[in-house]
Amino acid sequence: MMPDSPNPASLTGARDADIAGMSAPSAASSGPLHRSPGSASVSPGRPGPTASIEKIAPTRDERLFLVLSIFIGVLSGLLVVAFRIAIEWIRLLTLGSAPHAGQFRLLFVPAVAGLIVSALVIWFFPAARGSGVNQTKAALYIYDGYISFQTVIGKFITSALAIGAGHSLGPEDPSLQIGAGVASIIGRNLQLSRRRLRMFAPIGAAAGLAAAFNAPISAILFVIEEVIGSWSAAVLGSLVLSAISSVVIARWFWGPEPMFRIPSIMLRDPRELMAYAVLGVFGGLLAPVFSLTLGYLRPRLRALPRWSIFLQPAVAGLMVGAIGFFGFPQVMGTGYDVIDQALHGQFVWQVLLALVFLKLLATTFSFSSGTPGGMFAPTLFIGAMLGGAVGAFEKHFFPHLTGTVGAYCLVGMGVLFAGFLRAPLTSVFMVLEVSGNYSIILPIILANTLSFLISRSLQPVGIFEIFTQQDGLDLPSMEEQREESVLRVEDAIQPVTVPVVDSSDTLQSVAGAVAIGCLVRLADGSWYALSGDDLIAAFATLTPETPIQRALKEDRTPLIFPDMPLDSALHSFPRWPFLPILNRANRGALEGMLTLDDVLRRYRSTN
């Protein structure tokens, strides 16, 4: 079995285990201002103006970052346009402009293409296998953003050949990896830092996906939801610039029109939302079936003898071609033209329902065989056919419903996207962008939410996490990260149990607190945590009548508020045995206090 990603041993340089820290500010830049005791002035220990300017001056990488994001978007857009043209050219050359049932080339063209693709993957492009989403995530979290030029070329050639020849796969996921590869190549050639190189992978991924979908917002959201896993201000601006740049290039060739066009939809009767809710339920039930089918067949094909890997894409192509030959050529290729026909009501519900299950089988065959290609287009196809079937059925038996079959097809696309790919936010904006129709947003939100919740309850592990486990990779589960609750200071805060004094009070007033310390209220309303050790040192050098202010050092207790993440307090405990928790509206008011034991106890209680 050939690997899906480069061998980490072949990459130079150390590998960071914690990619999440790539955008975290340094402790020096995030700490509180240092004030002299009892005043609001900056302490001598704080860097002066010259040091501050040097500290915030942009580095070479930072100066290049935003400009390179635009350049990556332009180059990725051009490559994706060429990729889509190559797919269309191969389709016309091999299957003709209007393939129909009974043509023998529908049988042998996908099979021959499968043989060629498997030979290319095994002998030249082993990292081109798969959809491209998990491979890009692996580049981000394991390989320091490394995607080779060979992988980019291989993904382009093998995916274009497979999809153009009729395999039931899509161009969007490969476009995502192609864009990430472009960014990786540019970053390496400019000798950017390892941290910047890792950040370039999702930027290129957003550019490639945006050009393939002609939908920049959806591309940005998907990369954040499924590749990065969290919002990051450090990378969001670059994601936007690269995605918009690539879409500008794509629209220069294809025009500004959305991918699909249907008439505006007016929801005149709120009761019709029930009909869309039914579609959401069906989508939530179908998505786990799709996931389980892929999850069952893919590892079993990989477990077959090594020599069979060469034949698997050809056999898959033969089976997909047989579906087309015996009556349903619509399942071959991306199927965008078929989606457009369904949106305009050109199929009866029985045909639409047949296409749902036949496309599911065809996609399972193609993807499980290791043929390079994506899951986006098949997911949209199956969802559209499911929506059309439900809509046509409901229109037939409930003619008072005002929604068109095209509206149900459109909602169905988002329903399966949310339930199968587990990207609920992306699914809403994706449907809006590919259709340019914002009048259907309420049915989309309702149906997508139901589909996502039902699918997640029936199949807790998302499809990308299933593939990750099967590939033996230890990548973070983005769905689990989104569902994790962040503990905050208010979850561990305790009542104040140490004496509270003013800075003008004498040391004699806190003589009984030598063992535990005290909290000192300063003249400017801020607070200082005076530890027992600090008190012992003060009594050893100062008289009991000395104001407590003389015992305070130049460093100041950090400002901690109840709504801050709990882990933000951890770095303060080596210096401060306890921390005052302040009120944001009035820093002179104490909300409570926090110790290291309180934090650890709260974390232990969550396990």
Q: Which of 83, 103, 251 is nearest to 163 (CA)?
A: 83
Q: What is the CATH number of the domain that holds 587?
A: 3.10.580.10
Cβ atoms of 282 and 71 closer than 8 Å: no
pLDDT of residue 260: 76
* Tokens encoding 220: 């940005």
Residue 364 resides in a domain: yes
The answer to whether the CB of 231 falls within 8 A of the CB of 191 is no
Residue 24, Ramachandran bin (φ over 0: left; ψ between -120 and 50: alpha; else beta):
beta
Close Cβ partners of 248 (under 8 Å, ≥ 6 residues apart): 73, 74, 77
Residue 386 is predicted with a pLDDT of 95
Co-location of 154 and 298 in the same domain: no
Judge if 403 and 506 occupy the same domain: no
Write the CB contacts of 534 (distance below 8 Å, at least 6 apart in sequence). Answer: 517, 551, 553
> Kind and range of the H or E element at 578?
strand 578-582
Closest CA relative to residue 384, chosen from 341, 441, 420: 341
Same-domain check for residues 367 and 418: yes
DSSP string spanning 28-89? HHHSPPPB-TTSSSBPTTS--HHHHHHHHS--HHHHHHHHHHHHHHHHHHHHHHHHHHHHHH
Per-residue burial over 39-59, b = 16 or more CB atoms within 10 Å of its CB, e = otherwise: eeeeeeeeeeeeeeeeeeeee
349 and 405 in a single domain? The answer is yes
pLDDT at 398: 76
Query: Do residues 242 and 148 both lie within one domain?
Result: yes
Q: Is residue 166 part of a domain?
A: yes
Question: 464 with 495, same domain?
Answer: no
> 38-45 long-range CB contacts below 8 Å, 24 or more apart?
38/503, 38/522, 38/523, 38/524, 38/549, 38/552, 39/523, 39/524, 40/524, 43/554, 43/555, 43/556, 44/554, 45/554, 45/555
518 three-state secondary structure? strand
Low-confidence ranges of the chain (pLDDT < 70): 1-64, 229-234, 263-268, 402, 476-485, 607
List for the chain the helix, strand, coil content (%; round to 5): 65, 5, 30
Please choose, from the candidates 215, 151, 165, the residue with its C-alpha nearest in 3D space to the C-alpha of residue 413. Answer: 215
* Any domain includes 140: yes
pLDDT value at residue 229: 67
Tokens describing residue 241: 């610039």
Q: Which tokens belong to 435?
A: 């259709």
Query: At 226, which CATH number?
Result: 1.10.3080.10
- Residue of 566, 535, 562 whose CA lies nearest to 551: 535
Rounded CA separation 330/265 (Å): 27
Return d(Cα 99, Cα 91) in angstroms, integer: 10
**Is residue 340 assigned to a domain?**
yes
Among 479, 467, 472, smallest CA distance to 296 is for 467
* Whether residue 496 is found in the same domain as residue 472: no
Q: What are the strands of the beta sheet with 518-521, ordered from one edge?
A: 500-502, 518-521, 527-530
Query: Which value, to the nearest 10 degrees, does the dihedral of the CA atoms of residues 532, 535, 541, 542 take?
Result: -170
Show Cβ contacts of residue 252 under 8 Å, excluding neighbours closer than 6 positions. Answer: none
The residues, any chain, with a CB within 8 Å of residue 201's CB and separated by 6 or more, are 136, 139, 140, 145, 147, 180, 183, 184, 227
- Same-domain check for residues 143 and 170: yes
Count of domains for the chain: 3
Structural domain including 434 reads 279-476
State residue 1's pLDDT score: 38
Q: Is the domain of 461 the same as that of 332?
A: yes
Query: Which of 254, 269, 290 corresponds to the end of one domain?
Result: 254
* 512 in the same domain as 367: no
Q: Answer whether residue 327 is part of any domain.
A: yes
User: Within 13 Å and on the Cβ side, how many CA atoms surround 403?
Assistant: 32
> Pairing state of beta strands 518-521 and 500-502?
parallel
Question: Are the C-beta atoms of 83 and 175 separated by less than 8 Å?
Answer: yes
Q: Does one domain contain both 220 and 289?
A: no
Assigned token pair, 398: 């409930």
Which H or E element spans position 138?
Answer: helix 133-141
DSSP state of 144: T
Q: Which residues of 296-314 are buried (b: 16+ CB within 10 A; e: fewer)?
A: ebbeebbeeeeeebebbbb
Co-location of 69 and 99 in the same domain: yes
Closest Cα partner for 4 from 147, 117, 107, 114?
147
